[in-house]
């Protein structure tokens, strides 16, 4: 793998997660106690229902073992900050999105290695690898939480600096991410083209099911529409960048990252179309406890 992949991708993700931390406070974690029903439903769908559905899809589509593990890793990845942007565009409860992103990012440190290890054990894509060992799980912790924690510390002790840095960090994240992913795609173009037809259908189906479950299940359980829109995007938009980084740098496999790479492209269009189907045309629900301003929400880093 090139230095662009081994160094550039983790750096890009680190900046993205640091930018997420700049937008979080301890109150974002505490607020989940004020909307326990919506949060609990979202977490059950995210952590239990979607991996089970993805496992069934992988078996039904008869994917090769390495691509099957890549799909399961994608399903285990938490929602990205792009969910906040889509929720803002389609009138969801953005405060709920922020809280779910914060909680999901912490829980993913445990669940992502567990689900990945299960997939590696079941599909056995590598002859010489038993799974994600403790050292590699520690890498996931460092990749996911340390930049977020650093961003939160900056916001807590230097709020003015954090406010000034928000836009530059957001712009830098987008630029670095585009350059790194473009380079990774170019260097693995033949492999990507070879597997696009095989993966595109299952990726589209999985994305649509994720979005639909995130909206229909909360509505069925009497959660407000704006909250259901928020959970739809939080559950339906996975952090593909995180899955790519773990696949290529932690587990050292480009093939493992292919499902996430293809998902990362197609998801933007699928989620946008789905948003028009479920968008809130009037604010019929009560506002959330903390509804960020438009400037705050649009300054979320647009990553999957």
pLDDT of residue 173: 66
Domain ranges of the chain: 3-281
The 3-state secondary structure of the chain reads: CCHHHHHHHHHHHHHHHHHHHHCCCHHHHHHHHHCHHHHHHHHHHHHHHHHHHHHHHHHHHCCCHHHHHHHHHHHHCCECCHHHHHHHHCCCCHHHHHHHHHHHHHHHHHHHHHHHHHHHHHHCCCCCCCCCCHHHHHHHHHHHHHHHHHHHHHHHHCHHHHHHHHHHHHHHHHHHHHHHHHHHHHHCHHHHHHHHHHHHHHHHHHHHHHHHHHHHHHHHCCCCHHHHHHHHHHHHCECHHHHHHHHHHHCCCCHHHHHHHHHHHHHHHHHHHHHHHHCCCCCCCCCCCCCCCHHHHHCCCCCC
Q: How confident is the model at residue 87 (pLDDT cuts 50, 70, 90)?
A: confident
The confidence score (pLDDT) of residue 288 equals 42
In this predicted model, which residue has the larger pLDDT, 243 or 166? 243
Query: For the residues 232-246, what does the mean pLDDT come to?
Result: 86
d(Cα 15, Cα 248) in Å, to the nearest integer? Answer: 18
Strand partners, 79: 238
Residue bearing the bigger pLDDT, 145 or 296: 145
CATH number corresponding to 3-281 = 1.20.1530.20
Higher-pLDDT residue of 134 and 22 is 22
Distance in Å from the first CA to the final CA of the chain: 23
Compute the chain's Rg from CA coordinates: 18
| Dihedral of the alpha carbons of 233, 234, 236, 238, in degrees to the nearest 10 | 130
Q: What's the pTM? A: 0.77
Band (4; pLDDT cuts 50, 70, 90): low
Q: What is the pLDDT of residues 17-67, one digit of tens each?
A: 787 777 777 776 776 677 788 889 999 999 999 999 999 999 999 999 999
Please state which of the ranges 49-53, 257-261, 273-277 shows the lowest mean pLDDT: 257-261
């Amino acid at each position: 793998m090139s230095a662009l992949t081994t160094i550039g991708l983790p750096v890009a993700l680190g900046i993205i997660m640091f930018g997420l931390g700049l937008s979080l406070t301890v109150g974002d974690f505490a607020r989940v106690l004020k909307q326990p029903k919506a949060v609990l439903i979202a977490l059950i769908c995210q952590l239990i229902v979607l991996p089970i559905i993805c496992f069934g899809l992988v078996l039904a589509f008869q994917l090769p073992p390495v691509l099957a593990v890549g799909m399961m890793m994608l399903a285990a990845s938490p929602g990205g900050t792009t969910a906040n942007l889509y929720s803002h565009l389609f009138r969801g409860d953005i405060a709920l999105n922020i809280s779910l992103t914060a909680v999901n990012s912490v829980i993913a440190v445990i669940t992502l290695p567990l689900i990945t290890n299960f997939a590696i054990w079941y599909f056995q894509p590598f002859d010489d690898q038993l799974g994600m060992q403790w050292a590699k799980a520690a890498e996931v912790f460092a990749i996911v939480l340390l930049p977020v924690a650093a961003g939160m510390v900056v916001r807590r002790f230097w709020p003015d600096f954090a406010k000034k840095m928000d836009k530059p960090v957001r712009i830098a994240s987008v630029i670095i991410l585009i350059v790194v992913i473009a380079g990774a795609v170019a260097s693995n173009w033949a492999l990507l083209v070879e597997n696009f037809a095989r993966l595109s259908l299952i990726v589209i189906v999985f994305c649509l099911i994720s979005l639909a479950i995130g909206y229909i299940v909360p509505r069925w359980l009497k959660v407000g529409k704006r909250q259901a829109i928020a959970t739809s995007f939080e559950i339906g938009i996975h952090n593909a960048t995180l899955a790519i980084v773990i696949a290529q740098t932690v587990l050292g496999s480009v093939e493992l990252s292919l499902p996430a790479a293809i998902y990362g492209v197609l998801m933007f269009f699928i989620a946008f179309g789905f948003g028009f189907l479920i968008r809130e045309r009037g604010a019929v629900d009560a506002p959330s406890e903390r509804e960020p301003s438009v400037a705050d929400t649009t300054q979320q880093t647009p990553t999957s």
